[in-house]
Amino acid sequence: MIRRLCVIGVGLIGGSLARALRQAGYCRDIVGAGRDPQHLQQAVTLGVIDRYETDLARAVQDADMVVVSVPLGAMQAVFAAIRDHLAEDAVVTDAGSAKASVVADARAAFGKLPAGFVPGHPIAGTEQSGVAASFPDLYRDKRVILTPTDASAAEAVARVRAMWEATGAQVTEMSAEHHDEVLAATSHLPHLLAFALVESLARLQDQREMFEYAAGGFRDFTRIASSDPVMWRDICLANRTSLHVMIERFSADLQELDRAMCAGDGERLLQLFSDARRARDRYVGK
């Protein structure tokens, strides 16, 4: 049970967490924090949070759980702002999509990694953003990855795990470095490809016709290109090393497809497509 939850960044991710914990009866008091009073007042009106603060130092006072759900580029500034104002028993976690950068930001802001700091990443979301898009079932049956540091106390890790499990999520743990490698391949690269494809078509001379005749496959694949550009800019920069490796691998595979197609090698194309279909059906389709 969380006595007082402070959510810094009450958008889709932070707002959905607050809604889920409220619905589960797992939280007594929810404080929202951010820079925009109108946005925060909307969160109060929607019943997502009980009250709000635009001063982060005041927002985290007496909170026993602090969840930082801001773009990766703002993490270090948030950590620095709350550093000297946390309750003695406070646990701090986050929802950032890249973890090594968050750990580095925490170390820089706090001076050393606190025992109550437990990095985390909910593998859930939609292309929508903002508190109005939040809903309590966003995390149900979804994965949440925790990446505890060497300094993370076992009790703090257990408290963060219990919080996410209260939302219906499935919680796993791994190192920050491994997390960034896995997410570069399974999340960051697909988003980058969706953005790149839409941008490429938008530059064509007959772009209106291109988009008017877009079929379901195009719409499904590029849906994620409607995601928050600021958030994805920060993710690409924060995880650029692992993402660059995946871009190089994907580029090599795409070139192989192009060579087979240009050579009229139908057997090779059939083999590649069949292998891809079997792999997806084995690991994703079911």
d(CA 44, CA 50): 6
Give Cβ neighbours of residue 211 (< 8 Å, ≥ 6 apart). Answer: 201
Among 129, 131, 16, 28, which residue's Cα sits nearest to residue 67?
A: 16
Phi, psi of 74 (to 5 degrees): -105, -5
Asked if residues 49 and 43 have their Cβ atoms less than 8 Å apart, the reply is yes
Domains, in order of start, for the chain: 2-174 (3.40.50.720), 178-285 (1.10.3660.10)
Q: Rounded to two decimals, what is the model's pTM?
A: 0.89
Burial 233-247 (b: 16+ CB within 10 A, else e): ebbbebbeebbeebb
Asked if residues 20 and 139 have their Cβ atoms less than 8 Å apart, the reply is yes
Among 243, 268, 245, 248, which residue's Cα sits nearest to residue 258?
A: 268
Spell out the per-residue pLDDT of the chain, length 286, in tens.
999 999 999 999 999 999 999 999 999 999 999 999 999 999 999 999 999 999 999 999 999 999 999 999 999 999 999 999 999 999 999 999 999 999 999 999 999 999 999 999 999 988 888 999 999 999 999 999 999 999 999 999 999 999 999 999 999 999 999 999 999 999 999 999 999 999 988 888 777 777 777 777 888 888 889 888 998 999 999 999 999 999 999 999 999 999 999 999 999 999 999 999 999 898 876 5
d(CA 5, CA 24): 14
pLDDT value, residue 285:
61
What SS3 class is residue 62?
Answer: coil
Give Cβ neighbours of residue 258 (< 8 Å, ≥ 6 apart). Answer: none
> If you search the block for the tokens 């000297």, which residue do you land on?
84
How is the beta sheet containing 120-123 ordered, strand by strand?
120-123, 143-146, 170-173
pLDDT value, residue 201:
85
H helices within 95-225, ranges in order?
100-110, 154-166, 176-183, 189-202, 207-212, 216-222
pLDDT value, residue 286:
56
